[in-house]
Structure 1
Amino acid sequence: MKILFETPRLIIRTFAAVDDAFIMKLLNTPSWLQYIGDRNIRTLADAQRYIMNNLLQLYVEQGYGAWVVVLKETGAPIGICGLFKRKYLDQPDLGFAFLPEAEGKGYAYEAATGTLVYTQEQLALSGLFAITQSDNYRSVRLLEKTGFKYKDKIQPPGESQQLMLFSIELQKINPNSPQ
């Protein structure tokens, strides 16, 4: 695992095989199942396969992916935040999910704004998308708070539900602003 960046309260790092128990817990939370979908991760072996075949593979194929959000104070993983390249979008999108006990404490905002600065400075991307269900009010608020603007509704291939599409231009972010 590699530390990518830190914020005042968080460490954002790459995934490793030792994150299997965390992945199993996160991917089975009610909000993950409702807003992202069931990935059929029921055992630690399932979680290991998911990490190896999906999360770590993204780093190889794209140079980025989902990253683990860790509390500095305890060293405990509390969520994920990172970039995803979907075939139906022409630029990567920001994605995030947190354990229920970490919600409502500003960690998602801290991780998301740190990810935007890291993306601009280290990955040299000029813009990002973000997608969410229209009834995922917490995600919509977080995206708007971090500077994303609503763009349109889209219908991803093979999906039955439309999603809200947001975008942000990264060159407008001030990398010297506090995270």
Structure 2
Amino acid sequence: MSKIITTTDRLIIREKVIEDSEFILQHYNEPLFIKNIADKKIYTLDDAKQFLINGPIKSYQENGFGMFLIVLKDSNTPIGTCGLMKRDNTDDIDLGYALMSDYHKQGYVLEAAKAVLEYAKNEIKLTHILGYTALDNSDSMNVLKKLGFSELGESKLAGYDTPSLKFSRNL
């Protein structure tokens, strides 16, 4: 059973569990996910399970937060991820999100991100958060701007070959 982090009118935001591995395998191999975020090298169901154990589940245990699953309330269908990331090489925490292509342009990312930011402020007690996006991902930039983030310029994230655009916001 997974822990529900928060809900909105249309969405449930919950912790990821091993049983989500089929969705993770599908979602993380979508061409837009690979283009805008990264190829996480999740090619099998076993890769997805190991990713969940060593990524989100480990983050929940160590940090009390991580990347969460976005699920439609009315059908219990997983549609993407949204959550808080603590990277190894920085003290900052950043907001991350990605949706399955079929669910783009329906306001789900904005709805999920607003709920996660409230969670970050009220439950994790964060006062400041970052956001990163690929330099050519205008949809993601627009989401961050609608959420009140300010653009800080290009930044090189560890583990990525190309620079990202860095954003910041106080909570």
Superimposed CA distance per residue, residues 83-134 of structure 1 (whole angstroms, 9 cap, x where no aligned partner): 0012343310000011011111000000001111111011100010001111
In structure 1, runs of 5+ residues without a counterpart are 171-179
Give the C-alpha shift of residue 153 in structure 1: 1.4
- Equivalents in 1 of 2:127, 2:105: separation in Å? 29
Question: What SS class does the counterpart of residue 161 from structure 2 fall into?
Answer: coil
Residue type of the alignment partner of 2:77 = A
In structure 2, runs of 5+ residues without a counterpart are none
Tell me the equivalent position of 1:132: 133
Tell me the equivalent position of 1:90: 91
CA RMSD of aligned residues (A): 1.1
Question: What SS class does the counterpart of residue 71 from structure 2 fall into?
Answer: strand
- Equivalents in 1 of 2:30, 2:159: separation in Å? 24
Question: What SS class does the counterpart of residue 165 from structure 1 fall into?
Answer: strand
Moved over 2 A (4+): 87-90, 156-160
Give the C-alpha shift of residue 140 in structure 1: 0.3
Give the TM-score normalised by the residue count of structure 1.
Answer: 0.91
For 1:1-179, list aligned pairs within 5 A.
1-170=2-171
- Equivalents in 2 of 1:21, 1:49: separation in Å? 12
- Equivalents in 2 of 1:158, 1:79: separation in Å? 22
- Equivalents in 1 of 2:159, 2:74: separation in Å? 42
Question: What SS class does the counterpart of residue 79 from structure 2 fall into?
Answer: strand
Give the TM-score normalised by the residue count of structure 2.
Answer: 0.95
Count of equivalent residues: 170
